[in-house]
Amino acid sequence: MLKEFKAFVMRGNVLDLAVGVIIGAAFGKIVSSLVDDILMPPIGLLVKNVNFTDLVVGLNGKSYPTLAAAKADGAPTLNYGIFLNTIINFLIVAFCVFIIIQLVNHWVNKPAPPAPPTTKDCPQCAMSIPIAAKRCGHCTSQLA
């Protein structure tokens, strides 16, 4: 059973998947930082200095200016600002993956160059003959 497990783990596609998951997690952190630290502050500034992570609704009926204030009070909250950040993260990751897939498909699916011709037409009888032929096999005319 240990040999079978080792064979399973050492297969190429399992290792490729592991590398993909690790790179994906790191990429997700980069995108989260991009959204939280670069994109959301200017967007919050455009919508009157709103910090999206502080957009909360207290379920106890009270209003809280920040998420930290709600947590300090021990109130249950709906953190819709964090949810908005997460949606923006997802959209950016999905768009980046889309672009990467488009590039890879463009590189992989390039049409192969046309193969060089292997035949030519006989000038006398117009039948197809090999390029290297010195005499037509159909009409026996001498080719230049």
What are the structural domain ranges in the chain? 18-110, 115-144
Task: Report the distance separating Cα 144 and Cα 139, nearest Å.
Answer: 14
Kindly indicate the confidence band of residue 15, based on its pLDDT and cuts at 50, 70 and 90: confident
Task: Report the distance separating Cα 46 and Cα 42, nearest Å.
Answer: 6
> Which numeric CATH code is attached to 18-110?
1.10.1200.120
Task: Report the distance separating Cα 10 and Cα 144, nearest Å.
Answer: 61
Say yes or no to pLDDT of 76 above 90.
Answer: yes
Task: Report the distance separating Cα 60 and Cα 98, nearest Å.
Answer: 42
Task: Report the distance separating Cα 80 and Cα 64, nearest Å.
Answer: 13
pTM of this prediction? Answer: 0.55
pLDDT, one tens digit per residue, over 16-46 is 788 888 988 888 888 888 887 888 788 878 8
